[in-house]
Amino acid sequence: MQISDPRSGADNYRVDVSWEGRGGGGRGRDEQYQTGRVVWRGRVDQTANITINGGNVETQTVEGSPVNGTDFNISGRLAYRPGTVNVRKIRGRGSVTIVQQPSSQNDFTAVIQVVDPNGGADNYEVEISW
């Protein structure tokens, strides 16, 4: 956006800007799909969800004590278009499953769930790729 003022001296301007974001207007269909991956680490007690949308990775505690010690490395970004996400548990005693694949119904977000059924928390390391 550029504002041009041909007269000399200062003046006041008011600008209203709006746009349609991700997934709107067919954007998701035109974006090139590229491979990428996330290596996520954290200490989980019961259940936690890892969500990936674009280049954002977030962790939510679903049940149990808050997840702590979270860290992740991401290479690439999850495209705003349908795709397939794969998951591999590297470390941790419980299970890791894909709850949601990226689609237009969930704003092209992948959701991976970590379930630690035993008492107390355990350290997890998970590789998520697309």
Within 10 angstroms of residue 28's Cβ, the number of other Cβ atoms is 18
The confidence score (pLDDT) of residue 71 equals 97
Nearest to 95 by CA among 114, 68, 120, 122: 114
In this prediction the pTM is 0.76
User: In this structure, are residues 51 and 60 in contact, taking their beta carbons and an 8 Å threshold?
Assistant: yes
The confidence score (pLDDT) of residue 19 equals 60
Q: What is the pLDDT along the chain (130 residues), one digit of tens a residue?
A: 677 777 777 777 777 776 655 544 444 455 677 899 999 999 999 999 999 999 999 999 999 999 999 999 999 999 998 889 999 999 999 999 999 999 999 999 999 999 999 889 999 999 999 9
Instruction: Give the amino acid at 95.
Output: S
Sequence spans of domains, the chain = 34-129
The confidence score (pLDDT) of residue 78 equals 94
Q: Please state, in angstroms and rounded to a whole number, the distance separating the CA atoms of residues 128 and 58.
A: 13
Q: Which residue has the tokens 């019961």?
A: 46
Question: What are the backbone dihedrals phi and psi of residue 65, each rounded to the nearest 5 degrees, phi first?
Answer: -70, 155
Alpha helices, H only, 2-112: 27-30
